[in-house]
Amino acid sequence: MQTAYVSIGANRSSSCCASSSAGVFAYGAGSTVALWDTTTDGGVFATLLGHKGHVTTVKLLRDGEVTAFVSGDNVGEVRVWEGTGRSFKCTAAFKAHKGSVSALGVFPGGNELMTGGSDAVLKRWTLSSSPVAVATLDLKGKLPLDIELALLPYSDQPLLVVGCTDRKVQVWVPSDNSFRRAVMLEGHEDWVRCLAFTTTGSDLLLASGSQDNYVRLWRIGLGREVDPLAELDAEESAEVSTKAHPFVVAGVRYAITLEALLVGHEGGLTNVHFLGDTALLSTAADNSMIIWEPTDQSGQKDGMWIPAHRFGAFGGRGLSFFGAVWAPNSVIATGWTGGVERWRRSAGAWDPTPGVTGHFDAARSVAWDPSGDYVLSTSADQTSRIHAAATSTGSPVWGEIARPQVHGYDLVDGGFLTPFRIATAAEEKTVRVFEGTEGFAQSLASLGIANPSTEVIESLPKGATVPPLGLSNRALGKAYDEPEIKTSHEAQHSVAATLAALPTEEELGTSTLWPEIEKIYGHGYELVTLAASHSGDVIATASRASSAEHAAVRLTSTKDWSHIATLPGHTLTVTRIAWSPDDQRVLTVSRDRGWRLYELDGDEWKQVAGEEKAHARMVLDCAFVDNETFVTASRDKTVKVWKNGTCTGTIKLESPATAVAAGPLLAIGTEAGAVELYDLQGEHKGSLPEEQRHAGPVARLAWSKGGKLASASEDRSVRVFEMA
């Protein structure tokens, strides 16, 4: 199997992404570092595995023929990744701090590293196959949020700058193979969260961004004699003080002065990044990104910096940008909803172009539409998303094409009833049914994914309306016989547009919502799983249960939404439901370690077989191979094959089996993130290469009619594999 598509959302962390000059963009994605080639139309081409905790920071270590990135996580580990082209591997890994790694700083040359942790300590490391800490600096209980290093003017001595929770920019200079604190730059009124260096003429220019909504620019150059009375006058206003902060390194006198105060953001700064001395890129918690340019375009001392371009939108689709990165002919930012957004420079303007999207929390399920053209995913990030390969430009390019549901509860499952109707289950007691829009159907045709008929397209709603209280998506323009609720909020309209290319994050968040057409009630506790019959006529659902009373499966007709039957038999939560190919049988598995098989007899559903203790531990998934043969997957590290209720084979694994799907081969997902292929006789037929596996347990697997395999994982990624 080869990976055709990876969708994985970015972490909500400042300074957690970086780009090489060749256009390889690296960003923290759960416990992985995701790599995206920004020079192509494709998406993520690799996820680097190894971190045991959530990645908190990513920086470019070295740029050139060999590219190197460095990343830190919330359990204190730092990893160095080196590669050429699309081949990257971990060349160093070490425990840097007792707690989380909160900041990384790269020495000029990329052979040394400074790390900062939640233990309020800075450490200097020499990088090799076995990195060694050569110096430790105590921050006296203050948390380092960002670290930057640069060579002092006319010197080979490094200058260390640290942004801290003490609201000051700490400046450290070399001293006896270590560093000493030389200057504390005051003025910010909140935590200093991001820093960036550049050179301008013979001086250094430092940008510091704070949660006080401001960016401050500091000029660092050779010192000068200062009139003490002038210094005294300058100290009267700390906010915009031009006071010179002198320090001495190796007998040379330097001074730091405030160059400019940049006012434009309405939320705390999350990242700053220079492009030479001609532009500064900044992102903030107000969901905006700004390119600042000096009025004289040369970064001279008396030049003013003005906001030349502003990106982003206020409210609606997100709450913050986190990364501000320059890439070849483009600017990139990571967002609140997990998307990596990109704007390309074209004829003096910045045009939004498709970036990378993905869930920003655990992916719980995947399901193909009946024809196998596109796949639905649901996640604990409270969204459902549809992914497909667009062929309108020639070769297939995978991406997210719709976001039908943005919910208030974590989603746990979803499936198609028809090509344009889905049902989803969340951590609530209600199943919700959504209908596709006219724009979605037209987009399938324009993107070369499918060719729905004109009759089908015209029967679909134009879009969706989110009412003032955000309770349920409604079909656009449809009247509802409900009492009017007076509120200060206004309804939000999502008018479905026909896509000419894969959508941007903004388009996904504003114009791809589907209207909700039905709610299904009946369960007494939060839902766990659902399964639609192949015909789409019946939905089977199950909820959390600690007794036989609530461990029953409910069947609901999709024709009139009436309750058809209740299937009792289990004593604990039913974890998965599967339908036989002819829709005459329903298979259920449970935390009670057993399975039950039900069959339609006339108009009545009856239990025809069952196994109380089919496995030694809970059963997590099941699938039909044909009308008489099915498989069950368990935490006891086995997958069992059953025919007419009798076990005919057992596949033993090295890790607990968490997902199973029957198609051209038996696909088995494990708790270790692996996907293994077997035949029904238990012969191993292949597996994912180690570098392509998931970083967390595989939550769901699904085969398409065309033989593609989709997977969802606790590592938040959705992947599509093709048989080699």
2-45: per-residue pLDDT in tens? 899 999 999 999 999 999 999 999 999 999 999 999 998 889 99
- Given a cut of 80, whether residue 299 has pLDDT beyond it is no
What pLDDT score does 394 carry? 80
DSSP 335: B
What pLDDT score does 179 carry? 95
How far is residue 315's CA from residue 312's CA, in Å, rounded to a whole number? 10
The closest of 306, 307, 305, 350 to 326, measured between CA atoms, is 350
What pLDDT score does 392 carry? 80
What pLDDT score does 319 carry? 75
- Given a cut of 90, whether residue 114 has pLDDT beyond it is yes
- Which class in CATH covers the domain with range 620-723? mainly beta
Of 150-159, 318-327, 351-360, 408-417, give the lowest mean pLDDT range. Answer: 318-327
Output phi, psi for 340, to 5 deg.
-110, 110
What pLDDT score does 446 carry? 94
Burial (CB < 10 A; 0-12, 13-18, 19+), residue 228, is exposed
* pLDDT, mean of residues 401-409: 93
- Token pair of 114, please? 């400074």
Tens digits of per-residue pLDDT, 697-724?
A: 999 999 999 899 999 999 999 999 998 7
- Given a cut of 70, whether residue 316 has pLDDT beyond it is no
The closest of 92, 1, 179, 154 to 664, measured between CA atoms, is 1
User: Residue 526: CB partners within 8 Å, gap ≥ 6?
Assistant: 426, 427, 428, 429, 543, 544
Please state whether beta strands 383-390 and 397-406 pair in parallel, antiparallel, or not at all (unpaired): antiparallel
Three-class SS state of 140? coil
* Residue 323 pLDDT level (bands cut at 50, 70, 90): confident
- Given a cut of 90, whether residue 464 has pLDDT beyond it is no
What pLDDT score does 488 carry? 45
* pLDDT, mean of residues 297-319: 68
Q: Which residue has the tokens 């081949």?
A: 87
The closest of 415, 340, 407 to 377, measured between CA atoms, is 415
- Given a cut of 50, whether residue 317 has pLDDT beyond it is no
* pLDDT, mean of residues 675-694: 91
The closest of 273, 253, 146, 121 to 197, measured between CA atoms, is 273
Q: In CATH, what number does 139-225+241-311 get? A: 2.130.10.10
Edge to edge, the sheet with strand 563-567 lists 527-532, 538-543, 553-557, 563-567
Could you count the other beta carbons within 10 Å of the beta carbon of residue 470?
Answer: 13
* Residue 315 pLDDT level (bands cut at 50, 70, 90): very low
* pLDDT, mean of residues 587-605: 96
- Domain 1-99+320-356 fold is Methylamine Dehydrogenase; Chain H (2.130.10)
What pLDDT score does 491 carry? 53
What pLDDT score does 470 carry? 53
- Token pair of 465, please? 């309306």
What pLDDT score does 421 carry? 97
What pLDDT score does 589 carry? 98
Handedness of CA 8, 532, 558, 536 (dihedral sign): positive
* pLDDT, mean of residues 673-693: 92
Percent of the chain whose predicted confidence (pLDDT) is above 90: 80
What pLDDT score does 496 carry? 72
How far is residue 662's CA from residue 639's CA, in Å, rounded to a whole number? 12
How far is residue 11's CA from residue 77's CA, in Å, rounded to a whole number? 17
The secondary structure of 617-668 as a DSSP string is S-EEEEEESSSSEEEEEETTSEEEEEETTEEEEEEE-SS-EEEEEESSSEEE
What pLDDT score does 75 carry? 96
* pLDDT, mean of residues 533-544: 97
What pLDDT score does 490 carry? 52
- Token pair of 146, please? 């960002």
What pLDDT score does 492 carry? 60
What pLDDT score does 232 carry? 42
How far is residue 500's CA from residue 350's CA, in Å, rounded to a whole number? 19
Partnered with residue 181 across adjacent β-strands are 172
What pLDDT score does 88 carry? 96
The closest of 688, 683, 682 to 669, measured between CA atoms, is 688
Tens digits of per-residue pLDDT, 649-665?
A: 999 999 999 999 999 99
- Given a cut of 60, whether residue 313 has pLDDT beyond it is yes
Triad 630, 634, 639: Cα angle to 5°: 45
Residue 707 Rama label (left phi>0; alpha psi -120 to 50; beta): left
What pLDDT score does 226 carry? 43
How far is residue 536's CA from residue 587's CA, in Å, rounded to a whole number? 17
What pLDDT score does 441 carry? 95
Start-end of CATH 2.130.10.10 domains in the chain: 1-99+320-356, 139-225+241-311, 620-723
Please tell me which of 230-234, 447-451, 508-512 the model is most confident about, judged by mean pLDDT: 447-451
What pLDDT score does 564 carry? 96
Tens digits of per-residue pLDDT, 197-251?
A: 999 989 999 999 999 999 999 999 998 644 444 444 444 444 555 689 999 998 9
Half-sphere exposure for 399 (CA within 13 Å, toward CB): 28
Output phi, psi for 29, to 5 deg.
-135, 95
- Whole-number average pLDDT of the chain: 91
This prediction has a pTM of 0.92
- Given a cut of 50, whether residue 620 has pLDDT beyond it is yes
